[in-house]
Amino acid sequence: MARRLLPTMSKDIARQLDRQHHKMLAEMAALPCNKYCADCAMVNPTWASANLGVFLCLNCSGVHRSLGVHISQVRSITMDSWFPEQIKVMQEMGNGKAQAIYLAKLPQDYDVPTSATHRSVMDVYIRAKYEGKQWAHFDRNAVPIDVPLQHSRGQPVTAESAAASAEDAAAARAAKRKEAKEKAKRLRARQKMTPEQREAEDAAEAAAAAAEAQRGPLMGAALGAVNKAEAAEDWPAAVAAYDEALKYANEEEAPELNEGKEKAAAAEAKAAEERAKAVEEKHLADLAALKTTAETAAETEDWAASVAAYDDALNLATGDEVEPLETAKADALEWKAAADEEKREAELKAFTAAAKDAAEQEDWPAAVAAYADALTLAKDDEVEPLETAKAKAAEEKRAADLASSTAAAEAAVAEEDWVGGLAAYDEALKLATDDESAALQEKRDDAAPKVEAQALAAEAEAVAAEVVAELVQLVVNPKIEQPEPFAGGGACSHSYFFVPPRPAAGTPACSVL
């Protein structure tokens, strides 16, 4: 990264400039105003916004990254290479001055988020602060505020947190001393190296720097995924994103990432518990609704609906819920069976009464139909008397139909309607028993020849009517017709026949003939 600043810069100079920038960033991060994250007041931030000039913790850096580089350019103060102008922005701004500018108009009663605040709330706060500049007042002469706003607004640093901060500061100083000693040790060792050994060490440092440069974007992408997942409360995705970030984390970043992963896992466990609770509540509500439906149907003696509702409830029931529902369903089935039996008996009684009334009125077709309906409802011990009554009604109906057909045949014969009489005798023969068939067959046989004679007479009458019609036509339209010449010729080659002249108007045709 440093080589992009000055293409002609040697590797040694680039590494030296990079070390110088990281040293300056470490010194700035150790200042009182920069020891806490600019947004949530988390201790010892290791990230920064290069264009806003503020130091950030790992979580808030993820939110800043989601704003886009046109709002905030997030970089690691230990992993990434920095441009001189970016270092200048960090020197001129810092968390203290940024707080005085971006939170100048923040209401006194505003609940400032902390490191314990939910990620979605922090996202809204940071966007309003930097993207919307909702509380900003830009003043070049703004006085930096060394104490985070969270500490000055009813959220003071406790004795425990102050002690922890002091311990962190002491540890940071010890780490710096250790780093200085190791640096001096490396320099002394380097002076004793041969040129080849120095070149090998330079190559190793270059490879390490390249690996570190590659780590930064991968880490940033993973943190962006963490922020996106937590903002959407997609906790399984957040846990996976934390795992991805941990692949690229160094020793300083790993504890914070593990803590975030544990929080996401706890949030997922809580969400799963809430989902299970919601499912259980819905289950209980649905079960209660079905029980109410079943009980209401039972109160109105709609036993079929009650049984159906108990069946639906049993499909949902589990464990101890099953037995009382099965008992209630069994009771409903008993009441349903009793109600069905009562209904059957009432309908059977009604059909039987209707059949008897029809028989009394000698309406035998209606009587037979009513007995047939009654038989569909009858039990085994009720079938025999109903079948007997139905058979009697059917016999009465047959006898009545036979008498009717016989009377119709005799009436037709009396009027010499031999065709109608023959058809009526055929209908009667279909209904007659063997004993009754002989007499009816004899009468039919007597009528059959007369039917043929009647047909011949009708045909002759039709022919006569046709001849008369033709004669009348000749009288009404007389004419002389000239026949065709004889084929053999002769003395008389033509012959004529006379057609009577047309009569005068009003003269009857018979007078002409």
Q: Which pLDDT value is given to residue 506?
A: 52
CA 256 – CA 78 distance, rounded (Å): 15
State the average pLDDT over residues 182-209: 80
pTM: 0.40
The full set of domains in the chain, from first to last, is 2-248 (1.10.220.150)
| Whether 13 contacts 143, CB under 8 Å | no
Helix ranges, 300-379 (H)? 303-316, 322-360, 364-377
Residue 354 C-alpha from the chain's centroid: 54
Tell me the pLDDT tens digit for each residue of 491-506: 444 444 444 555 555 5
Tell me the pLDDT tens digit for each residue of 105-144: 998 888 888 888 888 888 889 999 999 999 998 877 777 7
Q: Which pLDDT value is given to residue 493?
A: 46
CA 487 – CA 493 distance, rounded (Å): 9
Locus of tokens 């002076």: 191
State the average pLDDT over residues 344-360: 93
CA 353 – CA 389 distance, rounded (Å): 12
Q: What distances in angstroms separate CA 449 from CA 13, 264, 462, one per listed residue? A: 142, 110, 20
Residue 88 has pLDDT above 70, yes or no: yes
Q: What distances in angstroms separate CA 203 from CA 93, 221, 432, one per listed residue? A: 36, 28, 126
Q: Which residues, 6 or more positions from 249, have their beta carbon under 8 angstroms from its beta carbon?
A: 219, 257
